[in-house]
Amino acid sequence: MVNLPKKENHDSHHTLPPENVESSVIVEDLIATTNGASKSFKIIAIGLGIMSVLGIIALALKWINYSDDSTRWGYVAALVSFLLSITGGAPMVAMGPVMAKANWVRPLTRLAAIFSFAGVSTIIVLIPLLFLLPPLVVDGTRRRSIWFEAPNYSPHIWGIIGMVLLLITGIALFYSAALPDFAVMRENSTGWRQKLGKKLARGWVGTDSQWRTLRMRIGMFGTFYFFVMVMVNFLYTTDFAQGVVPGYRDAIYTLYHTVSSWQGGVAALVIALWIVRRNMKLEKYIHLDAFWSLGRLLFALTLLWIYLFYSSFIVFWYGRSENDKATLDLLVRGPMIWAFLAGATFIWLVPWWILIWNRVRKSINGMAIGSCVIIIGLLLDRIRLFVSAWSVPQEFIHQKWLKQIPGTIYPDIFDVIIALGSISLSILMIMLMTKIIPVLSIWQIQEFNLLSKPIKFIKGHATLIAKPD
């Protein structure tokens, strides 16, 4: 679709707008990304597959050895939150601009939707935690939770229902938006991809009624995905963090966790776009505008993160009740101070200083570096929140407030292998999906061509984009 100028300048906003590419060329280029696999792709896929298997084995061995000690599972709980933020946040990041008819998002919608499939790894890692989550009532004493007089099994059952529903909704959103491309694969691919496209296209021919139905489905599933994403963050933060710390009361925490999930989703999407653009030679389709727009969104979410964090922190700091002081000692001071300082540095201070410069936001490599920093910070922040919560012994959970702060717990070899295996499984599923269907949405790129028109100003150039119906 879009050809960059011969001399691409990532630091200049006044470069010539990308030229339109003919529809047939778009189909040929994007279909070609699914054909075959390079030697390096196969090696990486095999390596990720081995690590995934080792991660599952480590998860089983950890269950055999520590199924009676919930304090050893804090890093697994943090990993679930981290994976939820990445695999669940990325599709949400893409759908918001789509529903707002923001055309810059077109090159990344397909890749963002593919992240939904990686949610399987989140569910796998979550399963042991469902059995280790302490019951609501012990000896007639009910611990703090959102469930009031609900049955004792409520946190366990609703947690897994929420995760599964998020996965199903994400896949439904992906499939709805991919219908026209399956029809393209039916007409332009060969072998098993052609058969797959014929089966999944479901008689798509591109009539007006089919297009209206398609856009309605994307809007419906996108809206539903947003609510499910918020619900899952709400359930997980309250049941798997606040609910296992006596006296931990924070109404902002759920929103804080959700916003940081979107922040992590944007960062992961930037990194994925950078890799795809570099390795699949898609520079003429994934150009600077997508990175620049994501950079502005990422900067806004970084500022929102520090606002919500400070809003939550200030309540505990000035409250000075026994509950508040114990919560501060657990989450900020004492055993988790290293995670607090490192997390705040990588998820806010460093990204803020990087992304505040427009010159960096207009740099593809600069955006990739800033996103990597945020991913590291997100992981550290999740360690601070969930490792500290799960370090509380179950005999203390049903108290009114935390009277004894547990010591620092460091990851064991099982935690390290589980983390590497889970992340490897997520990456592997994303890689495999890029070989099943084009990593960029063919019909959205083609539509962009129809809506765009290069224009020239006195001191620069731009692309005028009409709004679709």
Looking at the domain assignment, is residue 30 inside a domain? yes
Distance CA 313, CA 332 (A): 9
> Residues 362-410: pLDDT tens digits?
889 999 999 999 999 999 999 999 999 999 998 888 888 888 899 889 9
Question: Between 382 and 460, where is the model more confident?
Answer: 382
> Residues 103-137: pLDDT tens digits?
778 888 999 999 999 999 999 999 999 999 988 88
Looking at the domain assignment, is residue 193 inside a domain? yes
Looking at the domain assignment, is residue 134 inside a domain? yes
Asked if the model's pLDDT at residue 19 lies above 60, the reply is: no
Looking at the domain assignment, is residue 375 inside a domain? no
Percent of the chain having pLDDT more than 70?
90
Name 333's Cβ contacts closer than 8 Å, sequence gap at least 6. none
Asked if the model's pLDDT at residue 156 lies above 90, the reply is: no
Looking at the domain assignment, is residue 41 inside a domain? yes
- Which range marks the domain in which residue 68 is found? 20-290+413-450
In contact, 126 and 163? CB cutoff 8 Å: yes
> Distances in Å between the alpha carbon of 269 and those of 201, 273, 291, 357, 387?
27, 6, 10, 20, 26
In contact, 136 and 147? CB cutoff 8 Å: yes
Evaluate if pTM is beyond 0.85. Answer: yes
Number of domains in the chain: 1
Looking at the domain assignment, is residue 29 inside a domain? yes
Looking at the domain assignment, is residue 378 inside a domain? no
Looking at the domain assignment, is residue 270 inside a domain? yes
What is the token pair recorded at 280?
Answer: 């699949």
CB-neighbour burial class of residue 376 (10 A; exposed 0-12, middle 13-18, buried 19+): middle
